[in-house]
Amino acid sequence: MKTFKAFILLCLFATLAACGSGKGDIVAKVNGLPIYKQAFTKALDYEITKYPPKFAEDSVKFASLKRGLLEKMIKAKVIYSAAKGAGITISDNELAEENKQFKSRYTEATFQKMLEIKGIKYDEWKNERIEELAADKLIQRDVISKIDISDADILKYYKSHKNEFSHGDEVHARQILVEDPKLAADLYKRALAGENFAALAQEFSVAPEGKRGGDLGWFARGIMPKAFDEACFPLPADKISPIVKTEYGYHIFKVIEHREAKSAKLDEVKDKIIARLQQERSEDAFGKWYDPIRKKASVQIFDKVFNGETNK
């Protein structure tokens, strides 16, 4: 169940700059596996970029962030150590597939930029992926696979969240918005004469979605301004509305399609419900599984290194 990975493992590994890689001073050891000061500092520098520029000047908040980051890195190492102890390995094919999926979210330039921002090399990043995959395998085996979702659980969730699986009538429309009434009148005539509405929107509309051919997407009643609802919902598909004046200017709408109100059947949303229940239960199950592993782990924190001193 990848939603769990996204929720727990991503939190652990996404900000960690290959905490087992590096050299020099060691800030902590987990079952003999080192967390290097160099890697910790890189991860900390990356974390700080998520906060306002003067964040580090607040010593209390900075100390809390620093300690929390180290605990994250320790947690990741505890899980990876448990995976190694369980004999879990990652094949070349598994690593290649993971790398392919991960890198598909980037261009080569943005991928290299990501490595630069994290302050790590490709080999360090690859080691990070190996640790994450091994941790994921272990958690899938020892936590996720043991979560039982019964048909009764699914039905109960469906009944108590039925409003989430239904929607009122919706409309998909485009608009052209201009500030000049004379231009609006001219565009209205051209649209009625059969000119391409999307092309007119791209050329003349001052609304943000003009670049997308005026496409407003699907919307239900009450989402857009009242004038939009009044113009679009009564209008048949492929028809063009009269000019509508609002505080924003002069609008012309074209309805693409209507979608009737609908309540999704249980079979249509069953997989989504299972994923949600697994997500909810996995976090609790993970805590119960992790806590005893953490207690048994040999964790050494070298305070002098953590506080900026060296081992020498």
pLDDT for 65-122, tens place per residue?
999 999 999 999 999 999 999 999 999 999 999 888 888 888 888 888 888 877 788 8
Mean pLDDT of 172-181: 96
Over residues 273-279, mean pLDDT:
90
Which of the two residues, 29 and 164, has the higher pLDDT score?
29
Give mean pLDDT, residues 150-178: 91
Q: Would you give the DSSP letter of residue 224?
A: S
**pLDDT given for residue 13 in this prediction:** 58
Dihedral over Cα of 25, 28, 30, 35: its sign: negative
- Provide CATH code, domain 169-260: 3.10.50.40
Kindly state the DSSP code that residue 211 receives in the 8-state scheme: G
Quick one: 166 exposed, middle or buried, by C-beta within 10 A (0-12, 13-18, 19+)? Answer: exposed
Give residue limits of the domains in the chain.
Answer: 2-149+267-306, 169-260
Angle between helices 197-204 and 181-192 (to 10 degrees): 160
Residue 306: how many CB atoms within 10 A of its CB?
A: 17
CA within 13 Å, CB half, 157: 19
Helix or strand or coil: residue 143?
coil
Q: Are the beta carbons of 13 and 129 closer than 8 angstroms?
A: no
pLDDT digits (tens, 9 = 90+) for 36-75: 998 899 889 888 888 888 888 899 999 999 999 999 999 9
How would residue 12 be classed by pLDDT, with cut points 50, 70 and 90?
low
Give yes or no for residue 288 having a pLDDT over 70: yes
2: left (phi over 0), alpha (psi -120 to 50) or beta: alpha
pLDDT of amino acid 3: 45
Least confident interval from 64-68, 125-129, 226-230, 246-250: 125-129
Is the pLDDT assigned to residue 14 strictly greater than 70?
A: no
Q: Among residues of the chain, what percentage have pLDDT more than 90?
A: 61
Read off the DSSP letter of residue 204.
Answer: H
Residue 252: beta bridge partners?
A: 176
pLDDT at position 28:
95
- Quickly state the pLDDT bin for 7 (edges 50, 70, 90): very low
Whether 252 and 155 have beta carbons less than 8 Å apart is answered as no
Structure-block tokens of residue 277: 């229940």
Percent of the chain predicted with pLDDT > 70: 91
Q: Looking at the predicted structure, is the pLDDT value of residue 33 above 90? A: yes
Kind of pairing between the strands at 26-30 and 299-301: antiparallel
Q: Work out the angle at residue 162's Cα, subtended by the Cα atoms of residues 161 and 163, and round it to the nearest 5 degrees.
A: 95
Distance from C-alpha of 300 to C-alpha of 294, rounded to nearest angstrom: 12
Strand partners, 257: 172
Going by pLDDT thresholds of 50, 70 and 90, the confidence category of residue 2 is: very low
Whole-number pLDDT of residue 23? 65
Kindly report the number of other CB atoms within 10 A of residue 234's CB atom: 11
Select from 154, 137, 118 the least CA-distant residue to 274.
154
Average pLDDT across the chain, whole number: 88
Q: What's the pTM value of the predicted model, to 2 decimals?
A: 0.61
Average confidence (pLDDT) over 15-27? 64
Give the per-residue pLDDT at 62.
Answer: 92
The fold of the 2-149+267-306 domain, in CATH, is: Triger factor/SurA peptide-binding fold (1.10.4030)
Average pLDDT, integer, range 152-166: 90
